C-alpha cells in the first residue's frame, strides 16, 4: 500500500507532503503523477479543509496507526488507510456481517432481525451496510438485542443515506459506530458500494447472507469474504423465490446453511451459548488489544496478519536491516500482537 510505504519512509503525512521530488521517487510505487499530485496545492488544500470540517464535529479519523483501528482489517489485501468514524469505537471482536437484499420479503427481514438480536445478545458485534431491507433489519435486531452494531457506508459518514435511516444511524452511533473510508460529503455513488463491501467482510469473522437474488450486491460481500478467508453462511429460502436464488446458490456451493444462531456459532467456532446473566464468552486477544503502532510496526503487522512470515521474508519485504526487524518483532511480541512459531516464523496470536 502506497500510503503505508510513504508513512514508513517519512513517518508523518506532513513530512511526506514536504518531501522533495527525489525523496518521493525513491519510495517504491511512487510515480511522477503521484509526485505532481502530492506537491500540488490541491492535495494540501483538501487536507486542510477536511481538518477544519472535522474540528468541533463528533467525527473522528482513524489511521492504521491508531489504537482503535480494527486489527482484523490488516488481514485483507487493501486495508483502508483512513476510516471516518461517527459514534463509539467499540471492541471490534467478535463480529459477524449480516447482509442481503434491499427488497427482502417479510420472512427474510424477520430472520435477519432475529438472528442479529440473538448474536448481539451474546456479545457478537453485528456489521452491515445500513441499506434498506436486510441491512436495516440486522441493525435494528442488534439494537433490540442490546448489543453493538457497526454500519459501513458507501458515502461520507455525514451523509444520511438512505434518508429514512437517519434516526437508526443516530441510535447505532450511541453504542456502536458509523464507518466509511470516503471523505466527508462524499455522495452514495454506485461504484462506492462494492468497495465498502470489502470492509464489511473484513471486519467480520464471517458473512451471513439473508435472502439474496442472483445479482445481489451482498454476493459481492460473500466473494470478498472468501478472498479474505472468512466464513460464508446463508439462510435458505423458498426454491421458487427469485429473491432467494443467490443465497440458495451459495449453500449449493458450500456456504454454511443457517437456520438458527447455533449454526453461526458452530461455523465460526465461537463456542457454546453463555448462561443467563453471564457476560460474553468470546474473546480474541490478537484483535481486541489496543496499541498505538509506528508506521513500520503497522507495516510489519499487516504483512504477518495476512499469513505467517519468516523473519528473512519480513526483512526483505520491509527493506530494513535484520537488526531493525528483530527489534520490531520483539516489540510487537511484548505488545501481544505477534507470536513466534518454530523456524523463525511469526504470526498473529
Residues 6 or more apart whose Cβ sits within 8 Å of residue 49: none
Q: Identify the CATH number of the domain in which residue 185 sits.
A: 3.40.50.450
Do 128 and 27 share a structural domain?
no
- Structural domain includes residue 254: yes
- Structural domain includes residue 5: yes
- Structural domain includes residue 150: yes
Last residue of a domain, one of 267, 283, 313: 267
Do 237 and 320 share a structural domain?
no
Do 124 and 46 share a structural domain?
no
Residue 232: burial class (beta carbons within 10 Å; 0-12, 13-18, 19+):
buried
Report, as an integer, the average pLDDT of 287-304: 75
Do residues 151 and 179 make contact, with C-beta atoms less than 8 angstroms apart?
A: yes
- Structural domain includes residue 82: no
Do 102 and 226 share a structural domain?
yes
| Position 288 pLDDT exceeds 70 | no
CA dist 18 and 240 (Å) reads 61
Amino acid 199: pLDDT: 97
Do 184 and 107 share a structural domain?
yes
| Position 45 pLDDT exceeds 90 | no
What are phi and psi for residue 230, nearest 5 degrees? -90, 160
Do 259 and 296 share a structural domain?
no
Report, as an integer, the average pLDDT of 110-124: 95
Amino acid 137: pLDDT: 97
Do 316 and 213 share a structural domain?
no
Do 306 and 262 share a structural domain?
no
Do 110 and 3 share a structural domain?
no
Q: Identify the CATH number of the domain in which residue 311 sits.
A: 1.10.10.10
- Structural domain includes residue 64: no
Of 290, 306, 262, nearest to 124 by C-alpha is: 262
Amino acid 279: pLDDT: 41
Report, as an integer, the average pLDDT of 122-140: 96
pTM of the model: 0.81
| Position 274 pLDDT exceeds 60 | no
- Structural domain includes residue 191: yes
- Structural domain includes residue 284: no
Amino acid 284: pLDDT: 53
Do 321 and 248 share a structural domain?
no
- Structural domain includes residue 281: no
Which domain does 299 fall in, by range?
A: 291-347
Domain count, the chain: 3
> For the ranges 52-61, 124-133, 142-151, 292-301, which has the lowest average pLDDT?
292-301
Please list the residues that pair with 206 across neighbouring strands: 96, 231
Amino acid 331: pLDDT: 84
Last residue of a domain, one of 55, 71, 87: 55
Sheet strands (E) in 18-114: 59-63, 82-87, 95-100
Do 115 and 49 share a structural domain?
no
CA dist 64 and 80 (Å) reads 8
Beta carbons within 10 angstroms of residue 324's beta carbon: 14
Report, as an integer, the average pLDDT of 167-193: 95
Do 197 and 100 share a structural domain?
yes
Amino acid at each position: 500500500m502506497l500510503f503505508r510505504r510513504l508513512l514508513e519512509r517519512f513517518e508523518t503525512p506532513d513530512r511526506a507532503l514536504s518531501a522533495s521530488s527525489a525523496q518521493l521517487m525513491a519510495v517504491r510505487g511512487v510515480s511522477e503523477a503521484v509526485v505532481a499530485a502530492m506537491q500540488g496545492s490541491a492535495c494540501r488544500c483538501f487536507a486542510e479543509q477536511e481538518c477544519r470540517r472535522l474540528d468541533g464535529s463528533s467525527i473522528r479519523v482513524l489511521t492504521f496507526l491508531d489504537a482503535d483501528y480494527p486489527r482484523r482489517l490488516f488481514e485483507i489485501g487493501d486495508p483502508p488507510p483512513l476510516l471516518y468514524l461517527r459514534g463509539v469505537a467499540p471492541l471490534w471482536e467478535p463480529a459477524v456481517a449480516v447482509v442481503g437484499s434491499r427488497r427482502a420479503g417479510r420472512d427474510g427481514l424477520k430472520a435477519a432481525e432475529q438472528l442479529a438480536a440473538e448474536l448481539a445478545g451474546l456479545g457478537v458485534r453485528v456489521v452491515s451496510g445500513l441499506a434498506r431491507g436486510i441491512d436495516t433489519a440486522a441493525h435494528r435486531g442488534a439494537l433490540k438485542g442490546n448489543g453493538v452494531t457497526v454500519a459501513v457506508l458507501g458515502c461520507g459518514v455525514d451523509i444520511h443515506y438512505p434518508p429514512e435511516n437517519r434516526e437508526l444511524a443516530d441510535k447505532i452511533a450511541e453504542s456502536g459506530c458509523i464507518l466509511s473510508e470516503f471523505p466527508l460529503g462524499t455522495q452514495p455513488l454506485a461504484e462506492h458500494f462494492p468497495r465498502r463491501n470489502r470492509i464489511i467482510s473484513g471486519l467480520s469473522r464471517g458473512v451471513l447472507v439473508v435472502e439474496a437474488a442472483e445479482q445481489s450486491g451482498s454476493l459481492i460481500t460473500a466473494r470478498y469474504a472468501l478472498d479474505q478467508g472468512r466464513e460464508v453462511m446463508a439462510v435458505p429460502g423458498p426454491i421458487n423465490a427469485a429473491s432467494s436464488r443467490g443465497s440458495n446458490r451459495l449453500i449449493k456451493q458450500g456456504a454454511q446453511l443457517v437456520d438458527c444462531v447455533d449454526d453461526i456459532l458452530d461455523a465460526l467456532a465461537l463456542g457454546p451459548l453463555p448462561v443467563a446473566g453471564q457476560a460474553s464468552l468470546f474473546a480474541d486477544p490478537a484483535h481486541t488489544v489496543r496499541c498505538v503502532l509506528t508506521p513500520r510496526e503497522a507495516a510489519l503487522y499487516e504483512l504477518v496478519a495476512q499469513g505467517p512470515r519468516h523473519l528473512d521474508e519480513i526483512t526483505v519485504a520491509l527493506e530494513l536491516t535484520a537488526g531493525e526487524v528483530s527489534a520490531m518483532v520483539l516489540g510487537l511480541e511484548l505488545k501481544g500482537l505477534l507470536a513466534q512459531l518454530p523456524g523463525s516464523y511469526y504470526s498473529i496470536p
